[in-house]
Amino acid sequence: MIDKQKFIRLKPLFMFFVVYTSVFILFSLTLKFTFPFLAGFLLALMVQPVICFLKSRFKCRQNTAAIISTFIVFIIVFGILFLLGMWLIYEINNLINNLTSDISMLAKPINSFLNHIGEYINKINPQYIEQNQQELLKIAQSGAGIITTILSSVLSFLTSIPAIFTMFIVMIFSTYFFSKDMSSIKSHILSFFSQNTVFNIRSASHHGMSLSGKYICSYLLIYFITFLETLVVFFALGIPYPLVLSIITGIADILPVLGPGTIYIPLSFYYLIVGNIFKFAALLIGWILITAIRQIIEPKIVSSSINIHPLTMLAAIYFSLVAKSFLLLIYFSLLLICYKILTQINVLPTIFESHSKVADNINSN
């Protein structure tokens, strides 16, 4: 017979899962509208220590401290974006110059490759082309569709620049107003709850900040490991610009599915066209090894940093890869973190009872 007490004990857990899923779906659907306000609120939370410092040290008023803190934050944010933009322009300029200087080296293998394709096409039976005309037409249409999609995306980005600029303006003002009124916002929200609930909320917030910090640091460690592995591979193979390419690969590791392959695959095919089969094969093998190492160490590092079983993190990564959705990875990661926080402060029951509790229940029965 099924023990009904087990299901009664897990009822809060089921309710939490339903509420969390509903909130996450609503959050993901409305993110494009609420992003500047959410980012402003998070930035306002981050600058609260700065506001307290300015008020205590320089006797600034709340409004003045909020203005100065907002100004400092966005100077740093826009400064980082400006430096990244300048660095990207510099690297693109170098890449264009190198491609221009090396075009003569690439012309010969490309022409040879095209000649081989031409010889193969001449050997194709014309009847085969006639019989498969519809299929070939569909392939051509799909290729044209891909090009159209790319051009549409570029056009959409260019036409959305005013909206992006407006979003930053809204983010700046929302950060200021949230910073100025943060204490009253907290007091108004907490006034709806009892003292015990307020204590639980503050405890959950403290645990959440701690676990979130460990989670972010664990992924930064994973990206740093990818950077080091790529740096060793590129130095060993004599790839030009190994440091810059390794940094880009570490950043590309954030992307789902391909990850470091975003750099490794085009680079390996470049050496295939040039005729360097060894570097082509070595880069592909290096990409496969780095991807395999990532899949092994990621669940272990993340789970150990936030004390979650590695199998659950492995399942979250697998589900996101199968669904090809980075949003799904965020969903499962936040779900596990929230579950860990709420079970630590005894708001939610654990899925499995501890051995001591099981033994106590057996003895009581």
Structure confidence at residue 21 (pLDDT): 92
Q: Evaluate whether residue 40 is within a structural domain.
A: no
The answer to whether residue 239 sits within a structural domain is yes
Once rounded to an integer, what is the mean pLDDT over residues 283-294? 88
Q: Is residue 241 part of a domain?
A: yes
338, part of any domain:
yes
Largest CA distance in the chain: 88
For 156-175, the pLDDT digits (tens) are 654 555 667 777 888 888 98
For residue 192, give both structure tokens.
């709806």
% of the chain surpassing 90 pLDDT: 3
pLDDT (0 to 100) of residue 22? 93
> Comparing 48-52, 91-95, 266-270, 308-312, which segment has the lowest mean pLDDT?
91-95
Q: What is the reported pLDDT for 330?
A: 81
Q: What is the CA radius of gyration of the chain?
A: 28
Q: Are 170 and 37 in contact (CB under 8 A)?
A: yes
Q: Are 315 and 336 a contacting pair, CB within 8 Å? A: no
Average confidence score pLDDT of the chain: 75
> Helix, strand, or coil here: 257?
coil
Integer Cα distance of 268 and 217 in angstroms:
31
Give residue-wise pLDDT tens across range 62-85.
Answer: 888 888 888 888 888 888 877 766
Domain count, the chain: 1
Rounded to whole angstroms, the Cα distance separating 361 from 165 reads 61
| Any domain includes 244 | yes
pLDDT above 70 covers a percentage of the chain that reads 67
Residue ranges making up the domain that contains 248: 194-354
* CA atoms in the 13 A half-sphere facing the CB of 23: 9
Instruction: Quote the CA–CA distance of 304 and 298 in Å, as a whole number.
Output: 10
Structure tokens given for 268: 């390996």
pLDDT on residue 362? 47
> Residue 8: inside a domain, yes or no?
no
DSSP-derived secondary structure for 281-334: HHHHHHHHHHHHHHHHHHHHHHHHHHT--HHHHHHHHHHHHHHT-HHHHHHHHH
DSSP code for 260: T
Range with the poorest average pLDDT among 144-153, 184-193, 208-217: 144-153
Higher pLDDT, 147 or 190: 190
